[in-house]
Amino acid sequence: MNDTNPKAQLKLDEMYSQLSPEEKFRKMLSMCRTVREIIVSQLPSELSEDERRKRLFEIYYSQDFSKEDFEKWKIIIFAE
């Protein structure tokens, strides 16, 4: 659902269309970093660094794969 005001959305679309591919890529990377920071900030502080990485991976990527494929990737990445 997009609840952005239509006029504001047009302005955002116009601004975005004027960015170079490199600028668009940098903005995308910045958004990804922000999302990761938000996720990590909400994890319990007592988790080990390895457990934090695993939880971040689970939250961040679980929607990108089928359940079966996701479990396979977890095993490959985290040697479970």
What confidence category does residue 3 fall into, taking pLDDT thresholds of 50, 70 and 90? confident
Query: Is a pLDDT exceeding 60 seen at residue 22?
Result: yes
Helix axes 67-78, 49-61, angle to 10 degrees: 160
Domains of the chain, residue spans? 1-42, 44-80
**Residues of 25-52 as b/e, b for ≥16 C-beta within 10 angstroms?**
eeeeeeeeeeeeeebeeeeeeeeeeeee
Model confidence, pTM: 0.68
